Structure 1
Amino acid sequence: MDVQEKIDAPTKRQKSRFQLINVFWIFLGPGLLAMIGDNDAGGVLSYVITGAQFSIGFFIPFVLLLAPLTYTVQEMVMRLCVVTQRSFTTMISERFGTFWAKFSLGTLFLNNILSLITEFIGMSAGLSILGIPFVASDLLSLVIVISIAIFGSYWTKERLALLLGTFNVVFIVVSIMTHPSIARIGNAFSHWSIPSETHTLFLWYIIATIGNAFAPWMIFFQGGAVLDKGMTAKDLRFGRLDTVTGSVSQVLIAAILIICGAALYTPSSNVVDSLSGPLQVIHAYAQHIGIVGADLFAFGLFNAGFLAAFTISMSTSWTFATTLGWANSLNDKVHKAPKFYGMYFGSVTIAALTVLIPSLPLNLMAVIAQFVSAILIIPALLFLLLLVRDRRIMGKYANGITYNIWGWFILAGITILSVLLLYNVVRGM
């Protein structure tokens, strides 16, 4: 190698490294948005309430262990859709019949409406801290959520959503302001164990935590997003990197939220009973860490609900549109894809108006939404596992034996926990 080659070599390496980062930035989106969007307003409240109920202990290591499980599920649907160039529900219809495709559409719509209700609860509470009346906050949130879907192309909306996702860092600031005990966090890992009394309440929070990590809409959102983005089988490497980035980000923020909630934990009394809604949670932080911390938490809650309202509603629109043969791209204007955008507008409007019903059990609805997700993820996972192992559909991209075993283990674990919870609920009635 001559002198000039030695001079040029670092430049070439830097250029290659820059190109790799640039390509990753281009493909970053569907997987990361599905995961960080899953830390929605309902999820934020659910994780905080979990920390307030059980403190720092079992749930922080538990939620971190969910990362490889969520990656497995999201990687499979990403791979299925980019290889086949068809949506998840279209593949269900072709492989198992139109009845099961309609079943998937119905359960997805039900789960998404429940989840969207919690998003508007969180957004409205976040704006209410500014002194805006709850009704006005709810309607303003509706206008903002509708606006993000109208303007720009797919790329513009995806980049804006990613920007919103970076605001999750406010929860890190809030967790620091609670002055968590590093020793107690370390002890949670070194002496991790299941509480001696595995009662119904504990199982309920287990399922709720899993339900938040494995929300059905995530599967449908990422499948629709990779198709709208134009990804193909040659992009699988970057799709997987995008997905693992999302998986790690999701569980880290979830663990931080549990730490935030643990600051409200009181062993001598059930503090959760006093947290009857998101406003009560915000006020609890105002008393514990001051008004600045409460305002930051309120902002994070609004942002989480805003991002999730967009991603959840888009999963509904993409799924219905691709299954029923409608125009289905965010690159289309509203007048060119009226049914696609109509599903989006209709979903968020129903949820926003439902929130205005008096005497809704707000925090309970947040936990119920996650529980319903855990139940409804079971048939979605079953279809997904059957599809990605089929070499007639996937060819060389089909699941191998190890991947199949791991996938069926995840499905079995979620199913067993759901059955245990239902058994305990019925027995306690």
Structure 2
Amino acid sequence: MPDTDIQKEKPKGLKALWNLLGPGLITGASDDDPSGIATYSQAGAQYGLTTLWTALITFPLMAAVQEMCARIGVVTTQGLTGILRKNYPAPVLWLMVLFSFPAIVLNIGADIAGMGAVANLIFPAVSPLIFSVVFTGLLLAAIIVLPYARMAAVLKWLCAILLVYLVVPFLVKTDWPGVVRHTFIPAIQFNKDYISVLVAILGTTISPYLFFWQTTMEVETVKHRHVVVDKRYIQEVGFDVDMGMLFSNIVMYFIILTTGTVLFNAGIHQIDTVEEAAKALEPIAGQGAYYLFAIGIIGTGFLAIPVLSGSLSYIISETFGWQEGLDKRLHEAPAFYGVIVVSLLVGLGINYIGISPIQALIWSAILYGLTSPVIIAIVLHISNNRAVMGEYTNGAWSNILGGLAFLLMIAAAGFMLYFQFA
């Protein structure tokens, strides 16, 4: 074939850029799930602009950890749990399972509750519990019947509604000098409430379930595309991860900025209901703010819950050596899908114990903040283990940023526990 024909077949410009984006972009989009939206909204409402600096700090840290997980998946073609089962003592494996399971299940339940609450906001005559049951049924049907890649390709456009947060600060009176100051100069308050919000922000941005998901999705990509794993491909994977985490952090930054400007200045400093959180979008949508907020929560929920339940199912399936994969049919991996069904039903059951959806969403983020350091330490060890990674072990910057992520989350969790019990 002539060179000119070859060149015509190669995508260029934006299409070429889009082709480089894959699991990293989906991971970043699912990171801004209902739990994340609730946590960032509470941070902005309660403390105004003073937590903006967390978006600047967390981006390189979360990108570094997710890149390690992606590289582990690409190089080993195994998930994190499978690597631990084959290369590490059994207590290490069970420690990771123990620290992951409760947080993921609570996150699933909190997201389902949040979706039910916003649907009730639009249709008050229908109980949020009924909506939660309906959403759970739809999610189970979609996860079991549809390939996740096809479902995510559609649902990620619903998540684009979150971009409206980028517009609101330019429509209202915003303290731009204050925005710049709080973006680059941390204003930390050493009290229980502030540190709890800080732990929740760290937990919902650097979430353990994303570590498992990123690794397994890279494994699926390598197997399905039959790619040659070399330094160039690993660089492309790193670019995909960086873009996904950048998208996630931009949305995070503007949610805090929007709620810190609109809600905080309106005297709403404690978000207890979805109605209060939705008011942040009134400057752009007026009475339609509830609809925008509901679409954003439901869209991110439908994108994130398959990631959450899938991550948990990969963990359990790899632990016991079961057949696994969201690309497999139910009869090909019955135990894998059984874990997904059980996790969603248990999550749905959380709706019936009387916890406020907003509080459940924030508590799940806090629980991630407490458990993440353990998982980060395990990821760091795996990615520096030559017996597992060969020539693709961590470089200096990966270790520095990964170590900083570990130390920051340890410090935040330690301060929170101190203020909680001292």
TM-score normalised to structure 1 length:
0.87
Residue 42 of structure 2 is aligned to residue 46 of structure 1 = no
Deviations 1:108-143 (A, max 9, x none): 221111111221122112211221321221112112
Provide the secondary structure at the position in 1 that maps to 2:131: helix
Q: 1:381 aligns with which of 376, 395, 416?
A: 376
Matches of 2:68 and 2:112, distance apart in 1? 30
CA contact (8 A) 1:78 1:222 kept: yes
CA contact (8 A) 1:317 1:340 kept: yes
CA contact (8 A) 2:369 2:409 kept: yes
CA contact (8 A) 1:282 1:294 kept: yes
Provide the secondary structure at the position in 2 that maps to 1:59: coil
Change (3 A) 1:16 1:277: same
Coordinate RMSD, CA, aligned: 2.7
Change (3 A) 1:322 1:71: same
Q: 2:258 aligns with which of 252, 257, 260?
A: 260
Q: Percent identity at matched positions?
A: 20
Deviation at 1:157, TM superposition (A): 3.3
Provide the secondary structure at the position in 1 that maps to 2:353: coil
Change (3 A) 1:401 1:170: closer
Deviations 1:13-72 (A, max 9, x none): 775452x8656544533212222211111110110110001112x311321321111010
CA contact (8 A) 2:159 2:296 kept: no
Change (3 A) 1:346 1:184: same
**Residue in structure 1 matched with residue 130 of structure 2 by the alignment:** 136
Stretch of structure 1 that moved more, 70-79 or 299-308: 299-308
**Residue in structure 2 matched with residue 220 of structure 1 by the alignment:** 212
Matches of 1:371 and 1:86, distance apart in 2? 29
**Residue in structure 1 matched with residue 159 of structure 2 by the alignment:** 165
Q: Which amino acid aligns with 2:21?
A: L
Matches of 2:65 and 2:401, distance apart in 1? 10
TM-score normalised to structure 2 length:
0.89
Runs of at least 5 residues in structure 2 that lack an aligned partner in the other structure: none
Q: Which amino acid aligns with 2:31?
A: D
**Residue in structure 2 matched with residue 272 of structure 1 by the alignment:** 269
Provide the secondary structure at the position in 2 that maps to 1:392: helix
CA contact (8 A) 2:313 2:336 kept: yes
Deviation at 1:341, TM superposition (A): 1.0
Residue 22 of structure 2 is aligned to residue 29 of structure 1 = yes
Change (3 A) 1:266 1:171: closer
Residue 190 of structure 2 is aligned to residue 194 of structure 1 = no
Deviation at 1:276, TM superposition (A): 1.6
Structure showing greater Rg: 1
Q: How does 1:174-189 map to 2 (within 5 A)?
A: 180-189=174-183
Matches of 1:404 and 1:43, distance apart in 2? 26
CA contact (8 A) 1:168 1:300 kept: yes
Deviations 1:246-282 (A, max 9, x none): 110011000111122113444796x334x32224433
Matches of 1:315 and 1:24, distance apart in 2? 27
Residue 61 of structure 2 is aligned to residue 69 of structure 1 = yes
Matches of 1:284 and 1:406, distance apart in 2? 33
Residue 243 of structure 2 is aligned to residue 245 of structure 1 = yes
Deviation at 1:316, TM superposition (A): 0.9
Q: How does 1:195-344 map to 2 (within 5 A)?
A: 195=188, 197-230=189-222, 233-234=229-230, 235-266=233-264, 271-273=268-270, 275-282=271-278, 290-344=286-340
Q: 2:75 aligns with which of 83, 96, 104?
A: 83
Q: How does 1:391-410 map to 2 (within 5 A)?
A: 391-410=386-405
Deviations 1:386-415 (A, max 9, x none): 111112221110113443233222212211
Provide the secondary structure at the position in 1 that maps to 2:195: helix
Runs of at least 5 residues in structure 1 that lack an aligned partner in the other structure: none
Q: Which amino acid aligns with 1:381?
A: I
Change (3 A) 1:187 1:406: closer
Deviations 1:84-107 (A, max 9, x none): 111101112223222221222232
CA contact (8 A) 1:119 1:306 kept: no
Q: Which amino acid aligns with 2:163?
A: V
Change (3 A) 1:319 1:205: same
Provide the secondary structure at the position in 2 that maps to 1:168: helix
Provide the secondary structure at the position in 1 that maps to 2:166: helix
Change (3 A) 1:154 1:119: closer
Q: Which amino acid aligns with 2:269?
A: V
Q: Which amino acid aligns with 2:151?
A: K
Stretch of structure 1 that moved more, 321-330 or 205-214: 321-330
Stretch of structure 1 that moved more, 319-328 or 277-286: 277-286
